[in-house]
Structure 1
């Protein structure tokens, strides 16, 4: 068992990804926002304004650290220098949550700009399991694993994605971060039913939810192709899937991801208001159905 030292947890409410232009807004008028997420790789330095602001925010909000560069699914060993920087950040910040992606983003010494998908095979399962165990042992805390957004499927895969993720969690004890927008993107691009995916997913292990916007394009055959852009409001079908998840899990920490073309604070906070309202409506509706 890991000797976890988390002293805070994320509240079952809405959070947003922190952007520096919203620093004063968060302090003066956070509204529906009850927690913040940062990308680990942006805060691995030793000082400066970014670190000073993060220290101040951490006194007012629970913080979730979301990694995008560990390359959990990579074929080579995890980069020890990256892990050392990650550990230093986690040690001083002591965040309420830490998460990474079911993807690979590095090869040898080269780091890529994309989170790339994996074939779901036994070899991949063993490699990802070993990497997650290494990260959790190093950090002394549970890691949450995020499902990917997919644009293609591997012919050699022998596991479904929900079963693959369930088995990883079983072997490592990690928690799950369910990105509902990623489910919708993958379902559209790979032409499967999002609700079937969610019904097969280990929702009982979900500790955090992500919501985001996406862009629409077309492939070379003219078929709809969704891109995980994080640059728009959450789309209506994603909100509907969110309701479906909350009806199964109950309220969870729910993050509004908006990383590109970041809007003014009132626009971002209004998305947090809607996430909170939908969680309340779903959970209170369930309570009202219980006989007295």
Structure 2
């Protein structure tokens, strides 16, 4: 068997060993289950919150099993606590691997953060002190996780509201070193970049110039609540213009990472959520989305064909759901 065939077989047996371009994805939310099963919408892929399905059976898991037969699935976790000083939860990792294998997850992601200590889970994504000591600590834990999962781990830059004076490494440099040392990959959340930089009073341009785009396999888009003096990462509305502009610049540098929209609070009907992520097509093509709609409308009027592009009305983190 030649090398190309061996690689194809390995990829078929373990989809999480490769990072394909999936297109535009939507975060899977239980309020949309009925619509998805009835309409089978033209979505490229879904991202499921790992913890919502690891311990659940019954209808939620049955729904995910139906969806996995028609769409690629990516798992996104909020409880791995890769930066904690507590021992890694081996039972959690075993259940995560079993779920990833069962749904043929394209990859498994979580956050560069810690979520608790002494066995207590805060259900918050808490920031790390970014030092050489922390880098060594997190890298060792990433290697263990990857050995258990038998696939590279994908880590997301979190939104943060404080920074540590003791930090000696910037977040982009920390993530680059972590990838270089462990082979893990990155999920770039451009909304989190905007939130973190605003709250810290730092430059998004400087952050993006330093970011290791060569390791990015996925991107997140989401809305937030701007409170004047600070921003809260709420995921309860559409993506703001400033975040879209960050996305436009960043996506080109990733070489085609897979974008996904998160909408976790005040979740509207599915078509509204899907329409929001479809706006990414215009930004990927380098076109102003408002002008794109106007151009298509003029063209459709001249040719008497239906308009097939919709711009949603602009309206306006807790990820765990009760299923």
Length-normalised TM-score, structure 2: 0.81
> 8 Å contact 2:27–2:262 — kept in the other structure?
yes
Aligned counterpart, 1:58: 68
Instruction: Give 5+ residue unaligned stretches, structure 1.
Output: 219-223, 283-292
Task: Give the whole-Å Cα distance in 1 for the aligned partners of 2:164 and 2:208.
Answer: 20
Aligned counterpart, 1:289: none
The partner residue of 2:41 within 30, 46, 50 is: 30
Give the drift of 1:6: 2.6
The reply on whether 1:82 has 2:87 as its aligned counterpart is no
Give the drift of 1:126: 1.1
| C-alpha distance 29-49 of structure 1, shift in aligned 2 (>3 A) | closer
What pairs up with 1:1-292 in 2 under 5 angstroms?
A: 5-7=13-15, 10-27=20-37, 28-31=39-42, 33-45=43-55, 47-218=57-228, 224-281=229-286
| C-alpha distance 280-92 of structure 1, shift in aligned 2 (>3 A) | same
Task: Give the whole-Å Cα distance in 2 for the aligned partners of 1:124 and 1:109.
Answer: 20
- Give the match's secondary structure for 1:26: helix
Give the drift of 1:46: 5.6
Task: Give the whole-Å Cα distance in 2 for the aligned partners of 1:47 and 1:22.
Answer: 18
Length-normalised TM-score, structure 1: 0.89
Task: Give the whole-Å Cα distance in 2 for the aligned partners of 1:167 and 1:247.
Answer: 22
For 1:90-137, what per-residue CA distance to the aligned partner results, in whole angstroms no more than 9, with x for missing partners? 222220111010000021211112100000011111111111111110
Task: Give the whole-Å Cα distance in 1 for the aligned partners of 2:135 and 2:161.
Answer: 20
For 1:159-196, what per-residue CA distance to the aligned partner results, in whole angstroms no more than 9, with x for missing partners? 11111110000010001100000000011010111121
Give the drift of 1:273: 1.3
Instruction: Give 5+ residue unaligned stretches, structure 2.
Output: 1-9, 288-323
> 8 Å contact 1:144–1:174 — kept in the other structure?
yes
> 8 Å contact 2:185–2:217 — kept in the other structure?
yes
Farther off after superposition, 79-88 or 154-163? 79-88
| C-alpha distance 84-247 of structure 1, shift in aligned 2 (>3 A) | closer
Give the drift of 1:25: 3.1
Flag the structure with more relative contact order, 1 or 2, with Cα contacts below 8 A and sequence separation at least 6: 1
Aligned counterpart, 1:221: none
Aligned counterpart, 1:290: none
Write 1 or 2 for the structure with the bigger share of strand.
1
Task: Give the whole-Å Cα distance in 1 for the aligned partners of 2:277 and 2:41.
Answer: 10
Task: Give the whole-Å Cα distance in 1 for the aligned partners of 2:31 and 2:170.
Answer: 41
| C-alpha distance 216-13 of structure 1, shift in aligned 2 (>3 A) | same
Task: Give the whole-Å Cα distance in 2 for the aligned partners of 1:62 and 1:127.
Answer: 33
CA RMSD of aligned residues (A): 1.7
Task: Give the whole-Å Cα distance in 1 for the aligned partners of 2:57 and 2:132.
Answer: 42
Give the drift of 1:77: 1.1
- Give the match's secondary structure for 1:240: helix
- Give the match's secondary structure for 1:210: strand
Task: Give the whole-Å Cα distance in 1 for the aligned partners of 2:106 and 2:63.
Answer: 17
For 1:30-63, what per-residue CA distance to the aligned partner results, in whole angstroms no more than 9, with x for missing partners? 23x2000011100012621011000000001100
